[in-house]
Chains A and B, each alone.
Chain A
Amino acid sequence: MALPQNKALYLTGCLLMSMVLSGCGGTPLSEREIVRGVLFAQQESEFSACLIVADQDTEDTPRNRAVAAAGSTPAQALQRAEDALPGQAYYGLLDLAALPAQADWQTAQQIGTLLYDVAQPAPELSVFALAEAGISGWEEQAPALYDAMKAAESAYEVHCGLQQLFAQSEVCAVPALAQSGYDLLLLPRDGAPLRCRGLAGAQLAAVLCGQAYRLQGTFAGGQAACEADAHVTVEGETVQLHLRACALQALTEQAPDDLESALQRELQAAFAAVYGQMRRAGADPFHLDFWQACTYGPGHTAQDPRLTVLFE
């Protein structure tokens, strides 16, 4: 029995809508270049951009390939890299952006703004900086660099979102790829960039910046190891670092007897050094002025903060 005319029209309309909504008529997935990461490098005044693109030809294991181009600005380099792609760049699944190793605040802001405009931040997009070792060839190195940054983010539970580049007007902090663990780049607007290294430098700074909640690495010149969950509270001029589920282990016979004291001293020394340098640059990446202002009102700043390590 034939359907009444209005029902047939209704079904046709539904079918048409479902086809449109399911993507019929859009660009096929195979013709899209799914960009997973955007990496920038800087050689003096020249920038190069590398797009990490999902290789859709491999059927068994997901692999990435790299397409790179150079330009006098990050925007020009990115545009040329896009042009070099055989298909249309699709940024919907972008999950990593990397800044040049020697990036300063202005470069970080420039690249961050560019990504906002061109790619638009996809969920869970994280920002890293490259390692200090130069890039010899994007095509060979870039997929491995992408994997290394994703692995470091996952292993050390450190995350810097794109919007965090802009959350403070005078400074931003970006984790950077390192041979072991990760470094942390502190980029003050009115000062020289500072690359913090190691557990006491980078990981402590990341915890204080709110980008990580875990310390995991070696201290005392590599003679002892530490694994702990870390949280920060601030009371007046005292910054309290709470270490929970802390496991300290001597790796050599020359390791200090009192590992807790050694770790505390190292963390305190690193904190004083980093805080002093940032204060001279007029930046407060650890938000200590925020807690002072909350307690004593706007305009009050931390004068001589001290770090206390509490093993819990």
Chain B
Amino acid sequence: MKRDRPSLWAALTTGVLVNVLLRSQSAYWPRAGVLAALVCAPLLAAAAWGFARAWRAGQSPLLRLLFAALLAYSAALELLHFWALTQRLYTGLPLTVVCLTLLLPGVYLRRVSAISQTAHVVLCLLLLASGFMLLTVLPRLRITNLQTFALQPADLLTAAQEQLTLYPEYLLPALWPQRGRQKRGPLLRLALAALWFDVGIHLVLELFYGAALPLRVDPVHAAARCGALSVFNRLESLQLALWVMALALKLALYFYAACLLLGQTRQQANAVPLRRFPLYLCGMWALCLLLRRADLDAALQTRGALAWGFAALTGMGGAAAWLCRKTKRCI
């Protein structure tokens, strides 16, 4: 039996995990990451919790429009990021093909129940495939590849700066109402899962690459290329297929959230109407064409800054609304 409001936490978790796997370059040394994660996970969870409270207290049409714009910008960057990866691996793959590959599954994933069910499957497969990759590269992991230099404050700062990236997945839970039986601290769990998975992958990469860790492009994919198990010696294709599924899911979730923001009626809250897809496909394709020449690293940093700015703006709005209510009661 399908539930009216299925849980989307698996989709959110898949979204933040695939960010880690698709990194074009490693971000920090794992030792610094471990220390930074102890602080950054609660900070991220607190920011997401504060945003959700403020959003429910004082959302406005302008904020809804800004949030939808942020999601559209993020979706375009995800598409371009994956296109850049495919360009490095298979030169000449057109942007249109990447857009269609990642956006067309949204037709099936337009129902929130489909997103939820698929997310659970993809999350399990993603974790299994990551474990399988670890198994296949195990003989190439060397403990002596770990770097022993003393950590500097700059290393910790770099790790903290990277881990404090506020992905839209942290903001999306504010959009759907809290369900009755919910696990405790879901936002903290989400942040912990994302950051510890990130640190774990960085640790595996350091054991694999040693001092060359900061130099390798697409480090996870390159490590997967080197993994072979018996006759299975092209495991990077398995990883790539799963990343495509996870990205398609992530984009479908963004689209569903954007539709919720842009005035979807209560009856339509469980599915995106099919008639909106042509506009969505054309809009995303046009946005990608517009941004294709942009510096992707700078654009991703800008997205992080915009997300924090938007969260701060919403926080101010929520605080103002709360103050107004308090003032009215006093009067």
Contact = CB atoms under 8 A, between A and B. Distances in A.
Partners in one complex: yes
A36 to B, nearest CB: 15
A166 B140 CA distance: 13
> Of residues A120, A167, A287, which shows the largest number of chain B Cβ atoms within 10 Å of its Cβ?
A167
A169 B228 CA distance: 26
A122 B225 contact: yes
A13 B226 CA distance: 34
A163 B209 CA distance: 6
Interface string B24-58: 00000000000000000000000000000000000
A289 to B, nearest CB: 7
A293 interface: yes
Given A122-B225, A124-B228, A210-B142, A166 B150 contact: no
B42 to A, nearest CB: 28
Contacts of B209: 163, 166-167
B140 A161 contact: yes
A290 interface: yes
B211 A167 contact: yes
Interface string A281-307: 000000101100110001100000000
Contact of B146 (A124, A163, A290): A290
Interface string A118-147: 001111110000000000000000000000
A124 to B, nearest CB: 6
Nearest to A123: B228
Interface of A: 120-125, 161, 163, 166-169, 210, 287, 289-290, 293-294, 298-299
Contacts of A121: 222, 225-226
A24 B144 CA distance: 45
Nearest to B206: A167
A161 B142 CA distance: 12
Main secondary structure of the interface of A (DSSP, over half): loop
B233 interface: yes
Given A123-B225, A123-B234, A210-B144, 18 more contacts: A120-B222, A121-B222, A121-B225, A123-B233, A125-B226, A161-B226, A163-B208, A163-B226, A166-B209, A166-B212, A287-B144, A289-B148, A290-B146, A293-B148, A294-B148, A298-B148, A298-B149, A299-B150
Contact of B145 (A124, A167, A298): A167
Contacts of B215: 166
Nearest to B142: A210
Contacts of A169: 211-212
Main secondary structure of the interface of B (DSSP, over half): helix
Contacts of B225: 120-123
Nearest to B144: A287
Contact of A290 (B140, B144, B228): B144
A33 to B, nearest CB: 18
Contacts of B227: 123
A167 B146 contact: no
Contacts of A166: 209-212, 215
A88 to B, nearest CB: 13
Contacts of A298: 148-150
B148 A290 contact: yes
A237 to B, nearest CB: 17
B157 to A, nearest CB: 18
Interface in B187-234: 208-212, 215, 222, 225-228, 233-234
Nearest to A165: B212
A233 B181 CA distance: 53
A167 B212 contact: yes
A124 B228 CA distance: 8
Contacts of B142: 167, 210
B281 to A, nearest CB: 19
Contacts of A125: 226
Contacts of A161: 140, 226
A167 B227 CA distance: 17
Nearest 9 pairs of A and B residues by beta carbon: A167-B210, A166-B212, A293-B148, A287-B144, A123-B228, A298-B150, A169-B211, A123-B233, A290-B144
Nearest to A168: B211
A122 B224 CA distance: 10
27 contacts: A122-B225, A123-B234, A124-B228, A125-B226, A161-B226, A163-B140, A163-B208, A163-B209, A163-B212, A163-B226, A166-B210, A166-B212, A166-B215, A167-B145, A167-B209, A167-B210, A168-B211, A169-B211, A169-B212, A210-B144, A287-B144, A289-B148, A290-B144, A290-B146, A298-B148, A298-B149, A299-B150
A183 B145 CA distance: 23
Nearest to B209: A163
Contacts of A124: 228, 233
Given A161-B140, A287-B144, A298-B150, A123 B226 contact: yes
Contacts of A120: 222, 225
> Of residues A125, A163, A210, which shows the largest number of chain B Cβ atoms within 10 Å of its Cβ?
A163
A210 B141 CA distance: 11
A228 to B, nearest CB: 21
Contact of B210 (A123, A168, A294, A299): A168
